Structure 1
Amino acid sequence: MKKLLLIGALALVGTNINAQETRFGVKAGYSMSTIKIDDDQDDLNSRSMDPKHTFYAGAFVEHKLSDKFGLQGEVLYSPLGGKEDVSVSEGGYSFSEKTDVKFGTLLVPVSAKYFITEYFSVSAGASFGFILSAKQKTEVSGNFPEGVGIEAEDGEFDIKDDVKSLNIAPFVGVEYALENGLFFDARYNYGVSNLVKEGSGKITNSFAQVGVGFKFGGN
């Protein structure tokens, strides 16, 4: 009887060891980024900039703890941000201001994964975004009355000193993998960090990602 219990225990341990698997890979894809601005911490005065259509690319490591659960860490780069186009026309005069904000961001997402099937999984975690650069490009045009000036200024400006360096964004996602290592995934990252260094306003950066990748190794 003791021999049978010992054999059963060894078989169980062997199964758990076989279930553990570490794979490395690369991924890239499309990202849609938005910036929400709340000037007075009041929902009535909040607005969202237009989406910025951009990309992401990088590498990851996936470790399966069992057939159903796993952990994943990633290092990605993405130029996130947002756009805004304001136009006013009245009494024969017009004003137009286009703004493009770009946050060059190094993303470090960490997530837990649940494998519904061998090839389909869902995940939840947080993305830690380290903002390496921050720039704002503004274009102003219009037909102004004589003697009327404008506060907006044309050009590209470095706003890194006005923006905090860390953007934390919890996320949820899904992934579908093929037997050959190719996979497709999608996730939504909800920015919770206030990126404004000074003042009473609040700026947050959220983004959606859809992409493709490849896992090396494995069965």
Structure 2
Amino acid sequence: MRKIILGIMACITFGSANAQSTKFGAKGGLNISSVTGHDEETKSLIGFHIGGFAEIKVMKKLAIQPEFLFSTQGTTIEAAEGSSNTDLKLNYLNIPLLAKYYITDAFTVEAGPQMGLLVSAKSKGYDIHDLYKTSDFGFNLGCGYNFTENLSAGLRYTIGLTNVADISDEYQDYSDFYNQSFRNSNLALSLAYKF
């Protein structure tokens, strides 16, 4: 994990040194997330994300955009008739590193990898952090619209690439359930402001 973080920091430093311009900003918005791979029926869980970013212009139409976001994710597991649904709440510190291309001054597209660090995992008020891996990797695809030079909106889908379930020896009774390769899936709608 240290190598990944150091690699991201090296990219940011290199990009800053060679960039035409760098702008910093804040962003936040709505998450519609799920965890795929369950045998049970699941529904999307509504959450939010908030954090900051740097937009490092490397060419007129191309920028590198590292971000640091707190993100509430998870899923709702639908219960059998007569029982209540269960919310699985997974909170992450996500670090995306995006290549952002300006199709026009107003419209952008973006793509890039993301590393997530698990902050908490809860279900029905119980801490289930031990049943989930401390890191997650995904890939982002998105687009954005710049209302002004400073204010923009974005739509992004994050595809989970790794199994987030972590079953240890003490939980072998649940191994069939937790070895189903659960992967995060998240659709995010954001508002961002560049300073």
- Compute the TM-score of the two structures, normalised by the length of structure 2: 0.81
Map of 2:109 onto structure 1:
122
How far apart are the structure 1 equivalents of 2:105 and 2:153?
14
Q: Percent identity?
A: 32
**1:111 is the counterpart of 2:104:** no
How far apart are the structure 2 equivalents of 1:96 and 1:186?
35
Q: Map of 1:78-117 to 2, 5 A cutoff?
A: 78-88=71-81, 95-117=82-104
Cα displacement (A) at 1:180: 4.0
Map of 1:186 onto structure 2:
155
Map of 2:144 onto structure 1:
175
How far apart are the structure 2 equivalents of 1:184 and 1:113?
14
Whether contact under 8 Å (2:65, 2:97) holds in the other structure is yes
How far apart are the structure 2 equivalents of 1:209 and 1:21?
27
How far apart are the structure 1 equivalents of 2:112 and 2:101?
12
Whether contact under 8 Å (1:37, 1:48) holds in the other structure is no
**What amino acid is aligned across from residue 28 of structure 1 in structure 2?**
G
How far apart are the structure 2 equivalents of 1:196 and 1:211?
28
Classify the secondary structure of the residue corresponding to 2:160: coil
Cα displacement (A) at 1:169: 1.2
Query: Which protein shows a greater Rg?
Result: 1
Query: Gaps (5+ residues) in structure 2?
Result: 1-18, 168-174
Aligned Cα RMSD in Å?
A: 1.9
- Structure (1 or 2) with the greater helix fraction: 2
How far apart are the structure 1 equivalents of 2:158 and 2:181?
18
- Count how many residue pairs are aligned between Structure 1 and Structure 2: 169
2:45 to 52, 61, 64: 52
Cα displacement (A) at 1:48: 5.3
**What amino acid is aligned across from residue 20 of structure 1 in structure 2?**
Q
**1:133 is the counterpart of 2:112:** no
Whether contact under 8 Å (1:170, 1:189) holds in the other structure is yes
Q: Map of 1:196-215 to 2, 5 A cutoff?
A: 196-198=165-167, 199=175, 200-215=179-194
- Structure (1 or 2) with the greater strand fraction: 1
Cα displacement (A) at 1:47: 5.1
